[in-house]
Amino acid sequence: MHKTQLMKLVRQSISPLQWSAINRAIDYSTKMHSGQKRSSGEEYITHPLAVAAILVSWKMDAESVIAAILHDTVEDTDATLQEIESMFGKNIAVLVDGVTKVSATRSGMRDIESYLPETKDNLSKLLVAVGRDPRVIIIKLADRLHNLRTLEYLSPEKQHKIASESLEIFARLADRLGMGTVRVEIEEISFSYLNPKRFQFLKKLTKKRISKAHARFEDIKKEVKEELGKGKIKHQLDGRIKSIYSLHKKMAKYNDSIDEIFDFMALRIIVESESDCYGVMGIIHKMYQPKLNKIKDYIATPKTNGYRSLHTTVITTSKQIVEIQIRTKEMHEFAEHGLAASFHYNEQKQSKNYFRRSKSQPTAQHLAWVNDLKDAAKLVIDGYDSNEIKIDLFGDRVFIYTPKGDIFDLPEGAFPLDFAYRVHSDIGDHAHSFLVNNKIVKFDYTLQSGDIVEVKTKSNCKPNKDWLKYTKTPKARQKINSYLHDATN
């Protein structure tokens, strides 16, 4: 990737007001990395420019792109954060600093609860970096993705180490952030280095299967298109082929038989509105026989990473078993780009349809997992012992409902008090009792996904030390500790 190539991409999707700053960042980074080479023999500057290009393709904002261009300058050159801040502003300096710290501490990212105990300060640095700006993680993902794309130039030992770490950490991180296309590419490249024989075998098997099923799949698309046309439903049809690594994992569950994989090819139907999603589902079920145990409503109950869609598996008139996914354009954008799509939508706040979009999609502010990191960062900044902060980066989440149908995302193992504080700090501070699915439960009840929780409050109820036993989220613990601290001073 060279300057002219990157700027061509930038001009297609980033405001002209930002072009000058991006140009200056390229020139500065080129100067600082002068004389440095990559393992491929290319000038080192090609790497940060390629990372920036990836972020442009993800429709990230100009600050993220500039930070990507500069992301290795502090670590690998004589550049300083003070210099970067004076030239490009505080926000970009914070991003560069955050990416540097994530790079330095990533070996402990599997589980923050046991995060590098011999260098505890790394946890504080990571939490503060990511908590201050979640874009740090997205830039780091782009950095790792480009390193994977150029893995061929490293020794077999380094290839294995980086591929293993990428599959174990970065693919899961991309999944947690809802960045489906990124997760798939990281998994595919990593798997091809970790198990090349199996990868090539499944690649050939996939190619053979596609050629065999393609004609039948096109017939189904044609039938669906005709039926939706009758109902005058605006739509786009798209196909999805199961990735090689996903196929590998699923075949392992079925004695290595591809014949048991019914979602090898899936038909995606992209429509205008949420109500259209359900309408199309009804039409599909009139056309084909649905497998009742394979109907999944991820719109009403999203996946833990914010993914929303309707899934159904049907038996067609020609006895083919096909998975069909139905979603809106915004849901599709989020399914592909996840948290990165949130920043793209945030840049459209001035457009007339932003409000509609923001109502139908999770944004960076709505991803409670990111908010948990922010809450943990506040605790660290306030001086709390990082060993007491419990966040599992890849732990499961549960979705909890209010009686009015509002949905809240909490970590698995959360208690009713965590829910109360998630709804509002005042509700948490005055919680008296809890109704879960219309039944009274104790403070130590473990919330289950789908629970409907009503918090009963009393003005004379106040937090006490025992409440800490029945909380898991950083926000709840911080609020309780803050109250106890104020009460004793």
Tokens of 476: 């709840």
Cα–Cα distance between 347 and 349 in angstroms, integer?
6
Of residues 207, 335, 225, 210, the one with CA closest to residue 280: 225
- CB burial class (10 A; 0-12, 13-18, 19+) of residue 194? middle
Distance of CA 345 to the CA centre of its chain: 15
**Amino acid type, 360:** S
365-404 as b/e: b if 16+ CB within 10 A: eebbbbbbbbbbbbbbeeebebeebbbebebebbbbbeee
Is residue 69 within 8 Å of residue 55, measured between CB atoms?
A: no
220-255 as b/e: b if 16+ CB within 10 A: bbeebeeebeeeebebeeeeeebbbbbbbebbeeee
Cα–Cα distance between 27 and 70 in angstroms, integer?
10
Q: What is the DSSP letter of 264?
A: S
Cα–Cα distance between 71 and 140 in angstroms, integer?
9
Is residue 290 within 8 Å of residue 321, measured between CB atoms?
A: no
Tokens of 349: 């706040």
Is residue 380 within 8 Å of residue 362, measured between CB atoms?
A: no
Residues 209, 214, 220: CA angle, nearest 5 degrees: 130
**Amino acid type, 214:** H
Distance of CA 4 to the CA centre of its chain: 31
Is residue 471 within 8 Å of residue 411, measured between CB atoms?
A: no
Is residue 107 within 8 Å of residue 116, measured between CB atoms?
A: yes
Is residue 18 within 8 Å of residue 62, measured between CB atoms?
A: yes
**Amino acid type, 368:** A
Tokens of 134: 């979640």
Residues 390, 412, 467: CA angle, nearest 5 degrees: 60
Residues marked active site are found at 75-76
Helix (H) or strand (E) holding 73: helix 73-76
